[in-house]
Amino acid sequence: MNTRRQFLQSSAVIAAPMLVNAKAFSDDSPSNRINVAFIGTGNQGMGMLRRFLNAELGNVLAVCDVNEGSYGYKEPDHFYGATPAKQLVEANNAKRSKSGAAAQCHAYSDFREVLQRDDIDAVVIVVPDHWHRVITVMALEAGKDVYCEKPLTFSVADGRVMIDAVRKNDRILQTGSHERSNPISQFVCEAAKAGKIGKLTKIITKVGYNNKVGPGPGWMPMPVPKNLDYRTWLGPAPQQPYHEDRCLYRFRFNYDYSGGQITNFGAHCNDMAHWGMGLDTGGPTEVECLDAKFLPEGSLFNTATETRFRCKYANGVELLCESGEEQVQTRFEGTDGWLQTGYRGTTASDPNLLEGLPEKTKGVNDPHSSHLANFIDCVKSRSEPRAPVEVGHASAVLCHIANAMIRLFPQTGPGRVAKWDAASEQFVGDDLANRMLVREQRDPFA
């Protein structure tokens, strides 16, 4: 299979001016609308697809998922997959079409068929973390621009491969760190970076507790549903028997596919910590796990249920990340005050620090939609997006090295401080910790 395709050779598309207002993309002329495919149409994928369609950001020509369609994603009544996504797109097309005829959207189970299509300019990748590198690199080599959900990578090593693929193929990549497109997060992080609270001394980030409960020791395998291509879902991950709590939304609670809430919610709040420090592509000098709790050995879910870790940076700032009721929260503390923002609101040590704070956005202008719109803007203008590949990599690395120490905690306990060399992306003189950075992966197509 030839996985390298030339980008759509329309100079009108390549040279299109940057358009800030997503509604400007509602022009149906072929020269103005970007052709997009969605790879992964589960819980997050369907949400992103709805936002893309509502904001009229482009033409969705294809959707792809290894699940034809089923209930039971984040909630039991959520019916997602390739077929529901196809129906959603075609219903939207029929509503927008003057004739009422639905323009066809093709549904696929194999993403490689999507990448072979010369009429698709960009792909939105919303799949479990263990597939991010493979699909992203193949898409880039096929000449597609890529929106890849956070965390950008499954391992530290994945990031360098993805950076090289973006730059070698001269493609656009937007990491799905949508807080970068949230006006409130922009206000707080830029204020911290500009010294509005004095010299930064400490940043405290919060990640939510695990929001699902899986089966404990002694769980039994289940028959694979007919609608699910489980072999492909596993892909590069270890061969394991099927259980309904292994897949769909719950993949994030197993280290074979993700990194728990550290790489889920933590990919947002810790990215904001780097942003507020002005270290978009930097990293800490040391990391220490202060506490970690796990389910009994043999449970299907094996990521930490509660965590607390500390990082130090060369600029003297200390980062403390801990589990809590708040799903995402970032607090910047400086010599002259503090600023704090999260899903429950934004506060400050002095009300004057909040002067000019944007109102919370709703509808098609929410951060997810704005982040997708920024991606499409950059596909047209060929300019860098708000969360380019290097930024997504750096944020993911912070989460991965924290997880390395968290996973070692049951055998090493507190007080183990590991030195980190951001340049080499290795722990200094710590073979045990460095072994935790390696994620063995199978050939997904063997």
Domain CATH code at residue 126: 3.40.50.720
63 located within any domain: yes
Q: pLDDT grade, residue 166 (50/70/90)?
A: very high
Position 5 in a domain: no
Does residue 319 contact residue 329 with C-beta atoms inside 8 Å?
no
Identify the bridge partners of residue 34 per DSSP, sorted by sequence position. Answer: 58
Q: Is 329 helix (H, G, I), strand (E, B) or coil?
A: strand
Mind listing the pLDDT tens digit for each residue in 236-255? 999 999 999 999 999 999 99
The one-letter amino acid at 181: S
Q: Which residues pair with 35 in a beta bridge?
A: 59
**Final residue belonging to a domain, choices 117, 148, 178:** 178
300, part of any domain: yes
**pLDDT at position 41 over 70:** yes
User: 416: domain CATH number?
Assistant: 3.30.360.10
- 62-116 per-position pLDDT tens digit: 999 999 999 999 999 999 999 999 999 999 999 988 766 668 999 999 999 999 9
Residues 190 and 173 in one domain: no
Quote the pLDDT of residue 2. Answer: 37
Whether the CB-CB separation of 37 and 123 falls below 8 Å is answered with yes
Give yes or no for residue 36 having a pLDDT over 70: yes
Band (pLDDT 50/70/90 cuts) for residue 29 is low
Is there a single domain that holds both residue 240 and residue 316? yes
Order of strands across the sheet with 173-175?
Answer: 106-108, 58-64, 34-39, 122-125, 145-148, 173-175
**pLDDT surpasses 50 at 16:** no
pLDDT for 311? 98
Q: Could you give the CA distance from residue 286 to residue 288 in angstroms, rounded to a whole number?
A: 7
Per residue in 351-372, pLDDT (tens digit) is 999 999 998 876 667 999 999 9
Note whether 54 and 133 are same-domain residues: yes
CA atoms within 13 A on the CB side of 171: 32
Confidence of residue 440 (pLDDT cuts 50, 70, 90): confident
**Which pLDDT band holds residue 32 (cuts at 50, 70, 90)?**
confident
pLDDT (0 to 100) of residue 446 = 84
The reply to whether the predicted model has a pTM over 0.85 is yes
Instruction: Give the three-class secondary structure for 145.
Output: strand
Written as one letter, the residue type at 409 is F
Same domain assignment for residues 218 and 92: no
What is residue 351's predicted lDDT score, i.e. its pLDDT? 97
Q: Among 178, 193, 211, which residue terminates a domain?
A: 178
Orientation of helix 43-54 relative to helix 367-381, angle to 10°: 70
- Do 161 and 221 share a structural domain? no
- Over residues 333-357, mean pLDDT: 97
67 and 28 belong to one structural domain: yes
Same domain, 123 and 56: yes
Q: How confident is the model at residue 6 (pLDDT cuts 50, 70, 90)?
A: very low
Does position 7 have pLDDT exceeding 50, yes or no?
Answer: no
Residues forming a β-bridge with 308? 291, 322
**Residue 363 has what pLDDT?**
65
Residues 74 and 211 in one domain: no
* 185 and 333 share one domain: yes
Handedness of CA 166, 437, 310, 206 (dihedral sign): positive
**95 vs 83: CA distance, rounded Å:** 18
* 88, two tokens: 């959603």
Q: How many domains does the chain have?
A: 2
Residue 364: predicted pLDDT: 65
The DSSP element (H or E) to which 321 belongs, if any, is strand 318-324
pLDDT higher than 90, residue 25: no
Q: Do residue 167 and residue 194 come from a single domain?
A: no
How many CB atoms within 10 Å of residue 131? 24
Asked whether residue 51 carries a pLDDT value surpassing 90, the answer given is yes
Host domain of residue 129: 11-178
Q: Is 273 exposed, middle or buried (0-12, 13-18, 19+ CB in 10 A)?
A: buried
Helix H or strand E encompassing 98: none
How much of the chain, in percent, has pLDDT values that exceed 70? 91
- Give the confidence band of 301 by pLDDT, cuts at 50, 70, 90: very high
Q: Are residues 170 and 22 in the same domain?
A: yes
CA 169 centroid distance within chain: 21
- 346 membership: H or E segment, kind and range: strand 345-348
Last residue of a domain, which of 153, 178, 203? 178
| Cα 85 from Cα 40, distance rounded (Å) | 10
| 252 and 266 belong to one structural domain | yes
Q: Is residue 446 part of a domain?
A: no
In a domain, 238, yes or no: yes
Dihedral angle over CA of 255, 258, 261, 263, nearest 10: 130
The DSSP 8-state label assigned to residue 194 in this structure reads T
Domain annotation covers residue 379 = no
88 lies in a domain? yes
Two tokens at 129?
């973390």
Residue 227 CA, chain-centre distance (Å), reads 26
In this structure, is residue 415 part of a structural domain? yes
